[in-house]
Chains A and B, each alone.
Chain A
């Protein structure tokens, strides 16, 4: 049997795993930054109410 299916499977698996992980981390970072902005706004609102 040809070597190429094994070779291509290996490289494809590498690209998929690393791409999926990188996308997940970047999306989680975007979500966390959004949460941080929302949380800062809530804290500021609370502070304004107290004043």
Chain B
């Protein structure tokens, strides 16, 4: 597999950020080295939110303008968002076991994140089962808009309910020695998510072009195979 300049740039930024997280950042006084999991868990969650935010914006744009590119971009962002949310849940589980003593608990933050994951897995399943492209795009846009409404609930869950999960980690709530590691990894994950969405969009675009050519050929009397 060839890695183009954009891919190489993303890889370098990501590796550098991860080195800061694993090697350079200090251990935390209370949690020790376990706190380093923050450098992957939190940026993965934020990037997933960004991806679902893009689904929301593109879904509204599709419903208003009916442009296929908006639908394909929403679908691409949803897929990347699902991967990142699944990763967030898995990483949270690994972090939870040594700190809380359990792999999983029905805490509002965890539960609302799991619901977000299921909603967007449903979004992808819906796209896979509906054959008519316009109907698929309309229904998916509706689910994309409604599904995104869960993102603020996930974010606010640690404030609205008394939860086992700690308050949201951000440069405002994290002590100075850990802020840069968090910032750098947040940027690296956001760039990586953007790159993956862009590549996934290219896949969708080219596959759609192939479908259109096949349809044209079928209408012109050629074989579909």
Residues of A within 8 A of B (CB): 1, 3-4, 6-7, 9-11, 13-15, 17-18, 21-23, 25-30, 32-33, 35-36, 39-40, 42-43, 46, 50
Within the assembled complex, what's the spacing in Å between the Cα atoms of A28 and B217?
A: 23
Within the assembled complex, what's the spacing in Å between the Cα atoms of A11 and B37?
A: 7
Contacts of A32 in B (CB 8 A): 203, 206-207, 210
Residue of B whose beta carbon sits closest to that of A13: B90
Residue of B whose beta carbon sits closest to that of A21: B83
Residue of A whose beta carbon sits closest to that of B216: A43
B196 at interface, CB cutoff 8 A: yes
Contact present for B196 and A25 (CB under 8 Å): yes
Contacts of A33 in B (CB 8 A): 206
B34 at interface, CB cutoff 8 A: yes
Contacts of A42 in B (CB 8 A): 217, 222
Contact present for B209 and A46 (CB under 8 Å): no
Taking A3-B27, A32-B206 as given, write out 17 further A-B residue pairs in contact, using a Cβ cutoff of 8 Å, ordered by the A residue number.
A3-B31, A4-B33, A6-B95, A7-B33, A9-B94, A10-B41, A11-B36, A13-B87, A14-B18, A17-B90, A18-B192, A21-B80, A21-B83, A22-B196, A25-B203, A28-B203, A39-B210
Contacts of A13 in B (CB 8 A): 87, 90-91, 94
B199 at interface, CB cutoff 8 A: yes
State the Cβ distance, B37 to closest chain A Cβ, in Å. Answer: 5
Contacts of A27 in B (CB 8 A): 1
Contact present for A14 and B87 (CB under 8 Å): yes
Within the assembled complex, what's the spacing in Å between the Cα atoms of A21 and B86?
A: 12
State the Cβ distance, B2 to closest chain A Cβ, in Å. Answer: 8
What are 29 sample pairs from A and B whose C-beta atoms fall under 8 A apart?
A3-B27, A3-B31, A6-B34, A7-B34, A7-B37, A9-B94, A10-B36, A10-B41, A10-B91, A10-B94, A11-B40, A13-B94, A14-B44, A14-B87, A21-B80, A22-B7, A23-B1, A25-B196, A26-B7, A30-B1, A35-B207, A36-B206, A43-B213, A43-B216, A43-B217, A43-B222, A46-B220, A46-B222, A50-B220
Contacts of B217 in A (CB 8 A): 39, 42-43, 46
B22 at interface, CB cutoff 8 A: yes
B83 touches which of A3, A17, A46 (Cβ 8 Å): A17
Residue of A whose beta carbon sits closest to that of B18: A11
B144 at interface, CB cutoff 8 A: no
Within the assembled complex, what's the spacing in Å between the Cα atoms of A12 and B93?
A: 14
Within the assembled complex, what's the spacing in Å between the Cα atoms of A35 and B86?
A: 31
Using A7-B37, A18-B192 as known contacts, say yes or no to A35 and B22 having CB atoms under 8 A apart: no
